[in-house]
Structure 1
């Protein structure tokens, strides 16, 4: 099965966290990749989590960049998907260089080239 990508949409970062995923997104669970963007649609952060709402709550409570979040895009990678969310996350960070990610930011040229085909589509 192929990954399922949802386009970026506005997020009310101060809302109650169960409303952060749309009903359509919730059909796929909470295990996936997410991208946060600012109001100018600039990528801020890419992450993965098996419990997105828990992770997003941690970002809201701890991340200095959370106040800039205006949009979110989510992707889901079913168990029989040919790529994993972890591979897609590493590929996204290596190629899109979100300013607030700390891990996977400097892969070797060979690794970066091997990840290129696994970059999910931009949220916009």
Structure 2
């Protein structure tokens, strides 16, 4: 049996093939929050960070390695039964019942919602920009990714638009918001910032919209394939992009090319 304790620093790695760890999470006051089992603490804790609304309460982690999963499983069950971790649902001594836990989860979501709204109102996330990832926001607010993601869906439609995988500070019912939802974040933000038929550099779109350069490059390439963006080389050898209207479905023509309506 090999024990490791850490508050910060490198995550513990498997000491030998086949070894399995029992890990404990402690709060700032030293109270035991959770006991779990894994052969890959780094991956398991990353999952907890995205799923557990209480993740921000973890102040210290303790890892004990066992030679195999059987030994680790026995130790985990014994720890849950005798040590009473606060957030283990299987623990009969758990003092937080399901109703209390739901109330607590809702409180975390409400706190995340308040923080997102405050940041948008304060201009931390300006109009026509993409929010940071849920992982980044969770770190910023000290909450779990699940709480932050739930909060984002509760922000008013006039403020945020979801254009998978991005959240944009755009009115969902605006032309740009509707374009983003149907054609992607790059198209929606490009229309909002530059408009149609106006040349721009991809780097400028990335800088102004706060979309990653890789997302902008990939998005513009996809739009070009569908006829919704055009690229030409500028005088300085830099690519100039132009956003175009969404093509009409096959067999349809723009209104100006159709014969007059019979009622006219």
Q: What's the TM-score, normalizing by structure 2?
A: 0.32
Offset of residue 5 of structure 1: 1.8
RMSD over aligned CA atoms reads 2.3
Match of 2:29 among 16, 36, 40: 40
1:11 to 8, 13, 24: 8
Question: Which structure 2 residues correspond to residues 1-124 of structure 1 after superposition, within 5 A?
Answer: 3-6=1-4, 8-11=5-8, 19-21=10-12, 26=13, 28=15, 31-79=20-68, 84-103=71-90, 105-106=91-92
Structure 2: unaligned runs, 5 residues or longer: 94-264
**Partner Cα separation in structure 1 for residue 44 and residue 22 of structure 2:** 11
Pairs aligned (count): 91
Q: 1:27 to 1:85 in 2, by over 3 A?
A: closer
Q: Bigger relative contact order, structure 1 or 2, given CA contacts below 8 A and separation 6+? A: 1
Is the Cα–Cα contact under 8 Å of residues 14 and 40 in structure 2 kept in the other structure? no
> How far apart, in 2, do the equivalents of 1:65 and 1:11 lie?
18
Within 2, Cα distance between the matches of 1:57 and 1:27? Answer: 16
* Aligned-residue offset at 1:20: 2.2
* Higher fraction of helix: 2
Runs (4+) of structure 1 moved beyond 3 Å?
A: none
Instruction: In structure 1, list runs of 5 or more residues that go unmatched.
Output: 13-18, 108-124
